Chains A and B, each alone.
Chain A
Amino acid sequence: MNAMMAFRILCALLVMTALSGIAGNASAADALPPKGAKVYQVAIHNFAFEPKTITVPTGAYVVWVNRDEEPHVVTSAGALFTPSKALDTGDTHVVTLSRPGTYTYYCSIHPMMVGTIIVK
């Protein structure tokens, strides 16, 4: 991740945190990666998650960035982690997964978009 991308994600997170106070969504603030935390990025591009499958260590932060002109909503199959709000172009969503396992997720408005996080 280059400096500009890190800055953009930080800005997005700050905005999300500010908005979450209004919307009553407490999870976004909890998901802020602490300084120096390992962050794994998943791009949402052309109606697909890239990479489609990622393997991360326990407690890692996963950040989705929507690079489509179309909004997307990251949703865990089985509701194992907090869903995103509607991600417009450039918006991000962050989760941290503390338990090992295989987490399938999809876009709730384009459910043919499916991705997997393997936490080891």
Chain B
Amino acid sequence: MQDTHDNPAEGRRQFLKCMAAGAGTLWLMKSGVLQALPLSEGAGAQDSSFSFVQISDSHIGFHKAPNMDVAGTLRQSLATIRSQAIRPAFVMHTGDLTHLSKPDEFDTLAGLVQEAHIGKVFYVPGEHDVIGDNGAEFFRRFGERQQAGGWYSFDQGGVHFVGLINVLNLKAGGLGSLGEDQLAWLKNDLAGLSSETPLVVFAHMPLWSLYPQWGWGTDDSAQAMTYLRRFGSVTVLNGHIHQIQQKVEGSITFYTARSTAYPQPAPGVGSGPGPLQSVTADALHRYLGVRDVRHVRGSGALAVTEEELA
């Protein structure tokens, strides 16, 4: 893994590339403006210093339409990761590993990840992973054990990564929640960093008000954003909604991810955010996927690629 040193004298621009899944489109994000380009095979891979992959919402234990085999589709997702030409530095799973927080569901997920030999995986819990025990079993198995609350940070190739927990201590009528302790830690964790340091912040529930009527947001995310805003390049990665949605707010770009299990409806479409049951088995793979993110050395770029399951 090569370290990327941020040099402001280079006058580099922040940008993100995002390939729309399977459509052969390369998205270039330049100063908050999206530009679409035709995708050439492997574009950008050569000049990246490292890459990582995001997977999400595996819901092991779910066994209904439209996916009777969520273990199978997770296995496929993991195989996709393993087949990357350039090995990702790590994988992150942005929560809802399981459907009901059951020990055998955690066992299945851990077993599939282990047999896939994909290297280091960082996890944050979804609300489905903390049922009945406030996440004790999740943190015992998958926690980074940096802080009592389960949140953590690490550095990779000059990029600072922060894993946040926003699925605990939820209040009646509320959304996701970070809580005062975690916000205080976050402020402190970022305090010593240069504004030139690229940040990647990840959590299960969207850290922006995506669709509060369906609980797609986090009550106190605005407070967290006040700590992130001074940084020149911030990427926020979430799961929870089983589809890709994006938003740009100054230097902060928000992405939600596809599920490895089943899709959910677009915000506000239909009666609620349950599984899209109308998706047929032969079309399901188009709704599932993995996200590949490459850090491009010297340019400060994070190239975000979506891959659907073939």
Contacts and interface: CB of A to CB of B under 8 A. Distances in A.
Given A69-B277, A70-B274, A112-B213, A85 B132 contact: yes
A96 B22 CA distance: 53
Contacts, number: 68
Given A71-B128, A111-B173, A47 B214 contact: yes
Contacts of B99: 71
B172 A86 contact: no
Q: Which of A69, A77, A112 has the most CB of B within 10 A?
A: A112
B171 interface: yes
Interface string A54-81: 0000000000000011110101010000
A109 B172 CA distance: 10
A86 B132 contact: yes
A105 B172 contact: yes
Q: Which of A68, A105, A111 has the most CB of B within 10 A?
A: A111
Interface residues of A, number: 23
A104 interface: yes
A112 B273 CA distance: 12
Contact of A71 (B65, B100, B173, B273): B100
Contact of A112 (B65, B101, B174): B174
A69 B275 contact: yes
Interface residues of B, number: 26
A110 interface: yes
A81 B139 CA distance: 27
A77 B172 CA distance: 6
Interface in A68-120: 68-71, 73, 75, 77, 85-86, 88-89, 104-106, 108-112, 114
A77 B169 CA distance: 11
Contact of B172 (A46, A73, A104): A104
A85 B102 CA distance: 11
B100 A88 contact: yes
A111 B128 contact: no
A73 B168 CA distance: 13
A112 B173 contact: yes
A86 B175 CA distance: 19
B60 to A, nearest CB: 13
B215 interface: yes
A16 B212 CA distance: 33
B118 interface: no
Given A86-B132, A88-B100, A111 B215 contact: yes
Interface of A: 46-48, 68-71, 73, 75, 77, 85-86, 88-89, 104-106, 108-112, 114
19 contacts: A46-B271, A47-B272, A47-B273, A70-B272, A70-B275, A71-B100, A71-B131, A73-B131, A73-B132, A105-B172, A106-B173, A108-B127, A109-B128, A109-B131, A110-B127, A111-B173, A111-B175, A112-B174, A112-B215
